[in-house]
Chains A and B, each alone.
Chain A
Amino acid sequence: MTTWRMAPPEPARSPVAVPPRVSLQNVTSRYNEGQRRLTALEDFTLSISRGEFVSIVGPSGSGKSTLLDIVAGLLAPDSGQVFMSGFPTTAQERLGQSAYMRQRDLLVPWRTALGNAALGLEATGVPRKAAESAAAEQLPRYGLAEFADAYPNQLSGGMRQRCAVLRTLLPQRDLILLDEPFGALDSLTRAELQLWLAEVLAVQQATVLLVTHDVEEAIMLGDRIVVLTSRPGRVRLDITVPLARPRRREVLFAAEFLATRRDVLGALGIPT
């Protein structure tokens, strides 16, 4: 238990203090764009409890993707620290702790739907045969049972994205990072997949960080909404969604939903 002392002081939520799954402390991250040195995140502090679903909303260039890259371990911040379950970590140590899904489905053209669904699990070191049989079991739940042998370019946009979700969730990581997962889809398919993802994730009980520019998607799926400021990214608003999860389409008209939506839009500077 001595190592826990290295964790930053947290307001006690329960008699036994459980360290947050992810905690970013005073993180600053800069990047080069041509000749200019831009600051994606500045003195950024955010803690996410175990099992919490946090939606991160912000204008483009607010460092949302940088935030996920840092948590995934793909990027080391220029300053500040990242704690995972209470332990300070280097970027290298964070690799392999999460499952990452991006806006582009990133299905590889040389693998079938089944092979692509198994790729995440194979990346964690599971042999191909075992990974594919694990993926095959899940395909029906993802509406892909009949498309196991189809190559990505034979699948529709919605099917491709569902396949990417399966690839993300199959390794059963307790930390899931979603970077505008449905941003590339048409609004009907997106609405359908949001509801479906809410159900799938309710079973998984993982800590989820969802980056999105879709305010309704953020409220629909999240326990908590964090609104970022434009570059450099800081926390402008951090509110809890007062609705039980998983939610159904009807909550779009609930008073709590509308109130949360008004707060979020207000923080983004969009008149309601």
Chain B
Amino acid sequence: MRPPARSHRIIVQRWVAPLAMLGGLVLLWQTAVRLTGAPQWLLPAPTDVGAALINDRDLLLANALVTLQEVLIGFAVAVVAGVGCGIAITRSPVLDRALYPLIIASQTVPVPAIAPLLLVWFGYGLLPKVLVTALVGFFPLVVSTVEGVRSTDREVVNLLRAFGAPPGRVFRLAEFPSAMPAIFAGARIAVAICVIGAVFGELVGAKAGLGYLLTRSIAQFETPRMVAAIFLLAVMGSTLFALVGLVEKLLLPWRRLVTVQA
């Protein structure tokens, strides 16, 4: 049991402070729009955005679900491929030398340059968006998996080897569990940038999704709806980020203890 004064302070620090900051900024924005009398298509007030969220809820929701689907599938592909490649690289010195430099070099190729190519190859459907999403999420997962496995305590590895554990068993008993926190750190970064990836895939060419709605709304000077779409993207990104953190807490209960001690 924490003393009440301390838990009160933690609540203030964790929730009240950021919410007050957000509220203050929204209020400032509202006041600025009213005072300058900026037209709605140039700078919509928070109330205009709120109205758009309510009035266009069906349209926004339908498109948000399309984007969410792309993000979730793309992220899932990134996790499987990224962790899989990461493990393969740590298992095989040949792959480490052959594949790892290529993966790192691939990051210098900007996704905006690849997205139109994927559009040409795979059309306007779900596939090119999922591929762009998976592509941007792949890198942080590969790197965190490789680095996580490699940072395993060598003495623990040697201890298990001395007991007669073959490499596969050493991996299962020590290297993989030891890499889990790093993999989750990579997954949190990956899921956030996967949202960006999906929107980018839609901006290049799409028939649905929040990215598609963004471009169409701005073309029609429906700026409040566009800002509402951006707002939903931010909510989606933060929620997914928090969800990955929650899964980590559930799967790695020992982590909380370690952090508290440190």
What chain A residues lie within 8 Å of B159 (beta carbons)?
100, 102, 106, 120, 123
Q: Interface code B227-262, partner A: CB below 8 Å = 1, 0 otherwise?
A: 000000000000000000000000010100110010
Q: Which residues does chain B contribute within 8 Å of A9, judged by CB atoms?
A: none
Contact of A171 among B163, B174, B252 (CB under 8 A): B163
- Residues from chain B with a CB closer than 8 A to the CB of A106 are 153, 155-156, 159
Contact with B along A72-102 (1 / 0, CB 8 A): 1110000000000000000000011111101
Q: Could you tell me if A108 and B178 are in contact, using CB atoms closer than 8 angstroms?
A: yes
Against B, the Cβ 8 Å flags (1 = close, 0 = not) of A176-201 are 01000000000000000000000000
| Alpha-carbon gap, A261 to B171, bound state (A) | 44
Q: For A154, list chain B residues within 8 Å (CB).
A: 257
Closest to B152 in A: A108
Query: A120–B153 Cα gap in the complex (Å)?
Result: 16
CB of A119 closer than 8 Å to a CB of B: yes
Which residues of chain B from 189 to 212 have a CB within 8 Å of any chain A CB? none
- B34 in contact (CB, < 8 A): no
Asked if A100 and B163 sit within 8 Å, CB to CB, the answer is yes
Contacts of B180 in A (CB 8 A): 110
Count class of interface residues, chain A = 20 to 34
Contacting pair A120 B254 (CB below 8 A): no
Residues of A within 8 A of B161 (CB): 73-74, 95
Task: Please provide the chain A residues from 6 to 60 with a CB less than 8 Å away from any CB of chain B in the complex.
Answer: none
Q: Does B1 contact A (CB under 8 A)?
A: no
Q: What is the CA–CA distance of A139 and B252 in the complex, to the nearest angstrom?
A: 24
Q: Describe B's contact surface by its main secondary structure.
A: helix
Does B257 lie within 8 Å of A119, measured CB to CB?
no
Does B4 sit within 8 A of A, measured CB to CB?
no
Name the CB-closest residue of A to B252. A110
Total B residues in contact with A, Cβ cutoff 8 Å: 23
Contact with A along B145-182 (1 / 0, CB 8 A): 00000000101101111111100011001100110100
Known A-B contacts A74-B158, A123-B169, A151-B254; the reply to A110 vs B164 at CB < 8 A is no
Q: How far is the CB of A114 from chain B (nearest CB, A)?
A: 13
**Interface residue? A125 (CB, 8 A):** yes
Q: Is B163 a contact of A99 with CB atoms below 8 Å?
A: yes
Measured between beta carbons, the chain B residues less than 8 angstroms from A120 are 159, 163
Check: A104 CB closer than 8 A to any chain B CB.
Answer: yes
Q: Across the interface, do A109 and B162 meet the contact criterion of CB distance under 8 Å?
A: no
Contact residues in A for B160 (Cβ distance below 8 Å): 119, 123
CB atoms of B173 and A102 under 8 A apart: no
| Contact between chains at A72 and B162 (CB < 8 Å) | yes
Q: Which residues of B sit under 8 angstroms from A153, Cβ to Cβ?
A: 257-258, 261
A108-B177, A110-B180, A119-B173 as given contacts; A100 in contact with B162, CB under 8 Å: yes
CB-CB under 8 A from B257, the residues of chain A are: 151, 153-154
* Contact of A122 with B by CB under 8 A: yes
A124 vs B173: C-alpha distance in the bound complex, in angstroms?
Answer: 11
Interface residues of A in 147-172 (CB under 8 A from B): 151, 153-154, 171
Residues of chain B within 8 A of A104, CB atoms compared: 155
| Distance of A69 Cα from B158 Cα, bound (Å) | 9
> Which B residues lie within 8 Å of A100 (CB)?
158-159, 162-163
Residues of B within 8 A of A177 (CB): 162
Rounded to whole angstroms, the CA-CA distance of A173 and B258 in the bound complex is 32
Report if A122-B254 is in contact (Cβ < 8 Å); known contacts: A99-B163, A106-B155.
no
What CA separation (Å) do A119 and B177 show in the bound complex? 13
Q: A123-B169, A153-B261 are in contact. Are A108 and B174 (CB under 8 A)?
A: yes
A37 and B257 alpha carbons, distance in the complex (Å): 43
Interface mask (A98-141 → B, CB under 8 Å = 1, otherwise 0): 11101010101111000000011011110000000000000000
Chain A residues with Cβ below 8 Å from B252 are 110
Q: Who on chain B is nearest to A150 by CB?
A: B257
CA of A69 to CA of B161 in the docked complex: distance in angstroms? 11
Q: Contacts A110-B254, A151-B254: A96 and B163 contacting too (C-beta < 8 A)? A: yes
Binding site for A on B (CB under 8 A): 153, 155-156, 158-165, 169-170, 173-174, 177-178, 180, 252, 254, 257-258, 261
Beyond the given pairs A100-B159, A102-B159, A110-B180, 19 more chain A to chain B contacts, judged by CB atoms under 8 angstroms and listed by A's residue number, are A73-B161, A74-B158, A95-B161, A95-B164, A96-B162, A96-B163, A96-B164, A100-B163, A106-B156, A108-B153, A108-B178, A111-B177, A123-B163, A123-B164, A124-B163, A124-B165, A151-B257, A153-B257, A177-B162
Chain A to chain B contacts (Cβ below 8 Å), 17 pairs: A95-B164, A96-B164, A99-B163, A102-B155, A106-B155, A108-B156, A108-B177, A109-B258, A110-B177, A110-B180, A119-B173, A122-B169, A123-B169, A123-B173, A124-B163, A125-B164, A153-B257
What are the 8 tightest A-B residue pairs by CB atom distance, in nearest-first order?
A: A96-B164, A123-B163, A100-B162, A123-B165, A72-B162, A123-B160, A110-B177, A153-B261
